[in-house]
Chains A and B, each alone.
Chain A
Amino acid sequence: MDAIREGKSSPVKHRSTVERTSEREMVVTRTVNGPARLVYEAWTTPALIQRWWMPKSYGIAFVSCEADVRTGGTYRFVFRHPAAEEPMAFFGRYLEVIPPSRLVWTNDEGGEAGQVTTVTFEEKGGTTVVVVHELYPSKAALDEAIASGSTGWPDEQFEQLDEVLAGGGRV
């Protein structure tokens, strides 16, 4: 039950845009309500990352979340899906850390085909424009990710997500 009240109490809800900008690149853009330093804090503090990184509708829980956010530091996110025997680990290394405006990290769980993720935070009048840029090592690597449907998550989770979205529900 969303209370539609005089607009000042409920901030504008933004929508993400996604674009394949080249044979090797994906770009996601989204505006977040809040200053860049707080958005950056949420992206770099493990206790906070655990609250938002994994979409709730997947039913996948964080097992652990480690992030040594400095140039050359590593991160390791471990998840468990109730239907899976083994936990799933996502890990890599921070190549660039410039608070509160820029983060660059590798995605090493997939081996050679892993993409490099660059996130920039640009503050604009109390909101922050977040741009997530993913650069794959080759066209074939991005094509492969698309062909295998791999955003890393099992398909049935997306069906649940569809139901949630269709019902307009929000956690």
Chain B
Amino acid sequence: MVHYTHTSFDRSFAALSDATRRGVLERLGRADASITELAERFRMSLTGMKKHVVVLEEARLVTTEKVGRVRICRLGPRRLEEEAAWLERYRRVWDERFDALDTVVEDLQRKEVGNGRNTRG
């Protein structure tokens, strides 16, 4: 059995190096699924799918939760962290953009006043 160095990057890389595991992530991106459903979808044994899910779990790409007699898989915290970081960067882009827009609109207002377009109300 292969032992990977346990850095987060290596784990992700190992997890993503397999086509089935990439397929599982893609599938979970659309909806949560049980290990049984994943095994059926990828036409493999339950045991085989469990091994893939464990690798994805160790890389924090997937989390699982036992609901009754079924183990449900969903996208893990790694994906959520990425999304949160992306949202914050996206917000900053817009914040800076809008700060500059404020300045432009202030200038336009000042010009209107200067041109006497500011009719009395």
Contact = CB atoms under 8 A, between A and B. Distances in A.
Interface of A: 11, 13-18, 20, 26, 28, 30, 32-35, 38-39, 41-42, 48, 51-57, 130, 132, 139-140, 143, 146-147, 149, 151, 153, 158, 161, 165, 170-171
Contacts of A18: 87, 90-91, 94
Interface of B: 29-30, 82-83, 86-87, 89-106, 108-109, 112
Per DSSP, are chain B's interface residues mostly helix, strand or loop, or mixed? helix
Nearest to B97: A55
Contacts of B104: 42, 48, 51-52
Given A38-B108, A139-B29, A143-B29, A55 B93 contact: yes
B91 A38 contact: no
A16 B89 contact: no
A30 B94 contact: yes
Contacts of A132: 94
Contacts of A54: 97
Nearest to B79: A147
B54 to A, nearest CB: 23
Contacts, number: 93
A34 B109 contact: yes
A146 B86 contact: yes
Given A16-B91, A153-B93, A30 B98 contact: yes
B79 to A, nearest CB: 8
Per DSSP, are chain A's interface residues mostly helix, strand or loop, or mixed? mixed
A39 to B, nearest CB: 6
B89 A151 contact: yes
Contacts of A56: 96, 100
A143 B106 CA distance: 37
Nearest to B96: A55
A34 B113 CA distance: 13
